[in-house]
Amino acid sequence: MFGFTYYTPTKVVFGRDAEDQVGALVREYGGTRVLVHFGGASAVKSGLIDRVKASLDAAGLFHVELGGVVPNPHLGKVREGIELAKQNGVDFLLAVGGGSVIDSSKAIAYALADPDRDVWELFKRQRKAVGCFPVAAVLTIAAAGSEMSNSCVITNEQTGEKRSYNDNVARPKFAVMDPALTMTLPDYQTESGCADIMMHTMERYFTQGGNMEITDEIAEGLLRTVMKHAQILHEDPANYDSRAEVMWASSLAHNDLTGCGNDGGDFATHLLEHELGGMFDVTHGAGLAALWPSWARYVYKECMPRFVRYAVKVMGVQDKGQGDEAIALEGIARMEAFYRRIGMPTNMRELGIEPTEEQILAMAASCADAAGGKKGSAKVLYQEDMAAIYRMAR
Ligand code: NZQ
Ligand code: ZN
């Protein structure tokens, strides 16, 4: 195993009507002037924004609001938020939404801590953050895990670049998680979220060593649990207990718990997907599902023990002496079958896009640029490998 630092400073308040505590929580963390940041129509329509504002009012907190964050959140909206926050002396960012809203809030918060520098420089790896204003989340979709993660992913809509910046200073102060808030999600978003949650654990699972038994068992349990409840929610979207299971899994899958002791993880599928998001604006979790089977078939021979263990312990493949290769491939095939059962794509055509050879080469070049030339642990991928996986996933 490798040594690790496990840092999860986010206070989690979980359960029915937890959002009513948000005003008191902001106060507890020293906020006095709050920017309430949200997405399109969903949180307004459900009345959640009004309930959040009422809670802030009850706590005597000044607040301004900014909606309109789109999935694969735009740099332009971040810049709008920075200006509004500066004009109003905002000292606390409250994200009401999913990963896109939380990440937009984190980006605004980075900018407020260093107001004279362009925040996009962080995402271009040109400098590191000097600080971050406090951010907190009222989560409305179980998926990205941004409510406890150190990550922030923003799309520069003018260049089509989707880039991440990771820093512990941006981990949310608190996350309010009421599973009932996710019941209004369309099925496609629920299941894309489940695909993303699983992928955050799988990215940390398919590595070349350092794996601890305790971490593996937590990861496998998380994966089996999410698979079970993703299928229940596909049939019964109003099932509160299943909503709760996947909501808590979303946080545990991406707060580093399932990576303790490993080498930092693989994350090549995420890198490849971010280019799809930047170029074609696809839903993140569905994009991951469309790429993973091709990635897996491209790399499994170099990471055989992990693929065999995954097949047996997560996908329920029985070892009848058929040999490692057959077991590993059966595990990948069962994962694809699971994606199909929950309405997820298993290739880019099913995702609804058909990139040209030119676009594949451009995405592979951009991946290599974003990753500094190479990426991966299960197998280290270079630009030509990335292009090959995109071709396989057509
Ligand atoms: O804008 P509204 O109307 O709210 O609609 C949203 C959006 O269309 C809708 N939605 C959310 N909650 C809802 C709801 N609709 C009905 N009822 C509700 N309760 O769902 C759609 C997707 O929302 P979004 O925030 O984009 O989803 P998600 O949480 O999957 O976030 C995706 C973004 O996070 C990034 C992704 O790349 C993508 O940009 N990621 C962020 C990570 C991080 N910061 O740690 C890690 C991830 O790997 C990921 O890359
Ligand atoms: Zn993800």
For 47, the domain range is 11-181
- Closest residue by CA, ligand 1 atom 8: 71
- The three-class DSSP label of residue 52 is helix
Are residues 288 and 264 both part of a single domain? yes
pLDDT for 33 equals 98
Closest ligand 1 atom, CA of 101?
25
| Token pair of 316 as six digits | 């329920």
**Model confidence over 122-149: pLDDT tens digits?**
999 999 999 999 999 999 999 999 999 9
| Residues 118, 215 share a domain | no
Ligand 1 lining (C-beta closer than 6 Å): 39-43, 71-73, 97-101, 103, 140-141, 143-146, 149, 151-153, 181-182, 184-185, 189, 193, 196, 254, 270, 277, 284
Residue 3 counted as domain residue: no
CATH code of the domain covering residue 136? 3.40.50.1970
Domain assignment of residue 320, yes or no: yes
177 and 201 together in one domain: no
Neighbours of ion ligand 2 (CB under 5 A): 196
Q: Which of residues 181, 208, 242 is at a domain's end?
A: 181
Total domains present in the chain:
2
Q: What is the Cα–Cα distance from 204 to 258, expressed in whole angstroms?
A: 7
**Residues of the chain predicted below pLDDT 70:** none
Ligand 2 centre to CA of 265 (Å) is 13
Ligand 1 centre to CA of 141 (Å) is: 7
Smallest CA separation from ligand 1 atom 16, residue? 185
Within this chain, do residues 167 and 217 fall inside the same structural domain, yes or no? no
Residue 386: give its domain's CATH number: 1.20.1090.10
CB proximity list for 224: less than 8 A, separation 6 or greater: 314
Residue 306 and residue 354 in one domain: yes
Angstrom distances, CA of residue 51 to CA of 17, 44, 174: 10, 10, 18
Distance 42 CA to ligand 1 centre (A): 11
Q: What value, to the nearest 5°, has the Cα angle with vertex 247 and ends 257 and 9? A: 45
Q: Which of 340, 345, 207, 337 is nearest to 264 (CA)?
A: 207
Both 364 and 219 in a single domain?
yes
Instruction: Tell me the CA distances in angstroms from 353 to 191, 270, 276, 389, one per residue in order.
Output: 19, 17, 9, 15
Residue 375 to residue 356: CA distance in whole angstroms = 23
263, 356: one domain: yes
Last residue of a domain, one of 123, 147, 181: 181
The reply to whether 124 and 194 lie within a common domain is no
Of 30, 5, 284, nearest in space to 134 by CA: 30
Instruction: Tell me how far the alpha carbon of residue 152 lies from the centroid of ligand 1, in angstroms.
Output: 12
Q: Which two tokens stand for residue 122?
A: 């962080």
| Domain shared by 222 and 268, yes or no | yes
Tell me, what's the pLDDT at 210? 83
- Are residues 194 and 173 part of one domain? no
215 and 88 belong to one structural domain? no
- Which of 268, 340, 329 has its CA nearest to residue 304? 329
Last residue within a domain, chosen from 181, 196, 219 = 181
- At 56-79, the pLDDT tens digits run 999 999 999 999 999 999 999 999
> 1 in a domain, yes or no?
no
Domain membership of residue 126 (yes or no) is yes
Same domain, 291 and 161: no
Q: Amino acid identity, residue 90?
A: V
Backbone angle region of 277, left / alpha / beta, with phi > 0 → left and psi within -120 to 50 → alpha:
alpha
How high is the pLDDT of residue 308?
Answer: 98
Residue 270: predicted pLDDT: 98
pLDDT score at 209: 81
